[in-house]
Structure 1
Amino acid sequence: MAQTVLHKANTRGVANHGWLKSYQSFSFAGYYNPERINFGALRVLNDDIVTGGMGFGEHPHDNMEIISIPLEGELQHKDSMGNTATIKAGEIQVMSAGTGIYHSEYNSDPKNPAKFLQIWLFPNKRNVTPRYDQILLNDTDKRNKFIQVLSPNANDAGVWIYQDAWFNLASFDIATAKTYILNKKGNGVYVFVLKGQIEVDGQTLDTRDGFGIWDTDNFEIKAIADAEFLLMEVPMEF
């Protein structure tokens, strides 16, 4: 029988730094919950809002797979690998921090906030040469189906990382129902609702709710209302 865990949106950690408001599904910085450290290899899921004209100064990372998914607005990215880029809604960015990187992110729009998901996964290979990538997603692709945006394989659709993880985005019209089949035995899936309402394994989920499911090979997702959501399939043991 499948095992599950539910994280309602209003139970997340909240950090308000004025220029940054962050809603944290797992323990991060000043938010600590011993029951919410990680979901398998998924260590961080932050729902961030960066005020116009503000951003994250240069800071380090190492031995972590870092994924950014902009939801609204755009961020200017610079890093110690020499990359300078703009990431905006409709794109996905990945960094393998490996032996160590420094980077900064800045919302150059003085009037409008930038909203994005900051996701960290533990890697399956340590001390790799740091790498950076970003791709443009096709929004029409994810209508009423699962669209892969991340995998362990460089030749697959989406970006790739050093972990046996698969991410899918979807946009379901009301009453649409699909079965998600896991890619690897022993993995689990963390479902995060971007907006709308869905049902997973009999559990109703609303906007910004998170739901983890494991010890199963597949499960059904049904849209109770028009909905957009992210599926993060990760190893439960790593």
Structure 2
Amino acid sequence: MIELRLAQERGHTQFGGLDSYHTFSFGSYHDPRYLGFRDLLALNEVCVQTGCGIPAHAHQDVEILLYVLKGSLVHEDSLGNHALVHTGDIECMSAGTGIAHSKVNLSATELVHLLQIWLVPEQEGLPPCYEHKTFSFKERRNVLRLVASQHGRDGSLTIHQDALLYLTTLDKEQQAVYHLSRSRHAWIQVMRGEAMLNGTPIKAGDGAAVRDEERLAIAAINTAEVLLLELA
């Protein structure tokens, strides 16, 4: 079964130079019908205005992934990490027992466009940690590239949850196929372009909850950038 969450139906907030669309309830946006999916708590598409960002604030017991679609952000946290996260980079912050962080768009001319994902951790009270990596366009062109997994498999980022996160950029009329155990679930999010998911059209901003589907075929109508998250 494929259940769509259409782009135009998402929640929308604007605050402090952030323009955000929320697939699930988040912050001041609340919809009791959309409180997450399995261990996926939040999926936010955010534009950060020039010179703006997210001031230092704290988290605890949550896995936070951030993928930069356009622009660059400066990350700083209470563990002493300082990183410049560029277009195509993905970062993972395991908040664990507690971590404070900030994000700033230092550019005077370019917006930052990003996707933010929150997951429930496998257990509470883990040591906090941070890492970020770049996965080249070449290694995810027309294939699903694993970018985050429970044990950092195949050079992916490590997340503390039984989940697998893939990214792909599909050329027009190209297809990626994913096989899903019947006991597993998936969330598909289109970040750019248009595609067909098992014959169902999905476009930029659309998401899809997947249950009881053993074969997922993602076929690009035009160039499409897609995220696939496998969940227990």
TM-score by length of 1: 0.93
CA distance in 1, matches of 2:231, 2:193: 24
CA distance in 1, matches of 2:182, 2:89: 29
Matched, 1:225 2:218: no
What's the CA shift string for 1:154-211, capped at 9, x where partnerless?
Answer: 34331010011111111112222232013x6532111111111111122100111111
Amino acid at match of 1:199: M
Aligned-residue offset at 1:4:
2.2
**Structure-1 residue corresponding to 2:210:** 213
Q: How many residues get paired?
A: 232
What's the CA shift string for 1:2-44, capped at 9, x where partnerless?
Answer: x221111110100012511001110001111111110111111
Q: Percent identity?
A: 34
**Structure-2 residue corresponding to 1:49:** 47
**Structure-2 residue corresponding to 1:11:** 9
Runs of 4+ in 1 over 6 A off after TM superposition: none
Q: How does 1:64-75 map to 2 (within 5 A)?
A: 64-75=62-73
Conservation of the 8 A alpha-carbon contact between 2:105 and 2:111: yes
> What SS does structure 1 have at the residue aligned with 2:138?
helix
Q: Structure 1 stretches of 5 or more lacking a match?
A: none
Amino acid at match of 2:152: A
Of the structure 1 ranges 208-217 and 41-50, higher mean CA displacement relative to structure 2 is found in 208-217
Aligned mate of 2:36, from 38, 47, 53: 38
TM-score by length of 2: 0.96
Of the structure 1 ranges 199-208 and 41-50, higher mean CA displacement relative to structure 2 is found in 199-208
**Structure-1 residue corresponding to 2:184:** 187
RMSD in angstroms over aligned alpha carbons?
1.3
Amino acid at match of 2:177: T
CA distance in 1, matches of 2:31, 2:18: 21
Q: How does 1:31-180 map to 2 (within 5 A)?
A: 31-180=29-178
Conservation of the 8 A alpha-carbon contact between 2:16 and 2:52: no
> What SS does structure 2 have at the residue aligned with 1:156?
helix
CA distance in 1, matches of 2:189, 2:216: 15
CA distance in 2, matches of 1:204, 1:185: 23
